[in-house]
Amino acid sequence: MRRMLMALAMVAGMAGCAGIDVQEYAAETPVLDLRSYFNGTLDAYGMFQDRSGKVVKRFHVVIEASWRGDVGTLDERFTYSDGTTQQRVWTITRHDAHRYGGVASDVVGEAQGEARGNALRWRYVLALPVGDRVWHVDFDDWMFLMDERVMLNRSVMSKFGVRLGEVTLSFVKRNAHALP
């Protein structure tokens, strides 16, 4: 009986890891083109919730984004509810019609992204200062373009496969006329 319960627990755990493939959204519209959406000035409003669901931090981000061919720069300036500020500058490279890579000073290695339909799945490791230490935490971001101005983002933050919390963001493009 004990072995059967262990086997069931393993199967249930493995099923939870399967997840959704970004390809599931290939037919969804409007189609997300990162070069079009992340071009110009955007505002993002977000919060971080710990694994219990408690909102730990709220923030506003102003993003100045531009592209030269297949290479984009996203200059993100965060203002947190406690008054602290932070800056992250992403360099995003479009590898092909669906795949992107990205680097930033606090990202370990290269972020990997895949866009299909209205969705982008963006995965990376962030070097996150916690007290006197720096933790390398995994981010699994899902972004969904709602219309020409609004995109929603839900990120799960984990370490060693253990969910630490979630980040929820809404992006709002200031000038929607920049889209083709």
Phi, psi angle pair for 12, to nearest 5°? -65, -40
Domains and CATH numbers, the chain: 22-178 (2.40.128.20)
DSSP per-residue codes, 46-95? EEEEETTS-EEEEEEEEEEEEEETTEEEEEEEEEETTS-EEEEEEEEEE-
For residue 154, what are its two tokens? 């839900």
Q: Is the pLDDT of residue 7 over 70?
A: no
Burial of 131 (0-12, 13-18, 19+ CB in 10 A): exposed
Is residue 170 within 8 A of residue 44, CB to CB? The reply is yes
DSSP per-residue codes, 154-171? EEEEEETTEEEEEEEEEE
Chain segment 118-153, per-residue pLDDT in tens? 999 999 999 999 899 999 999 999 999 999 999 999
| SS3 state of residue 13 | helix
Q: Is the pLDDT of residue 71 over 70?
A: yes
Q: Is the pLDDT of residue 77 over 60?
A: yes
For residue 170, what are its two tokens? 């809404």
How far is CA 22 from its chain centroid?
13
Across the range 97-112, mean pLDDT stands at 98
Q: Which residue carries 């219309």 as its tokens? A: 147
Q: Is the pLDDT of residue 177 over 90?
A: no
Residue 130: per-residue pLDDT: 87
pTM metric for this prediction: 0.86
Chain segment 14-66, per-residue pLDDT in tens? 444 558 999 999 999 999 999 999 999 999 999 999 999 999 999 999 999 99
| SS3 state of residue 34 | helix
Phi, psi angle pair for 16, to nearest 5°? -70, -20
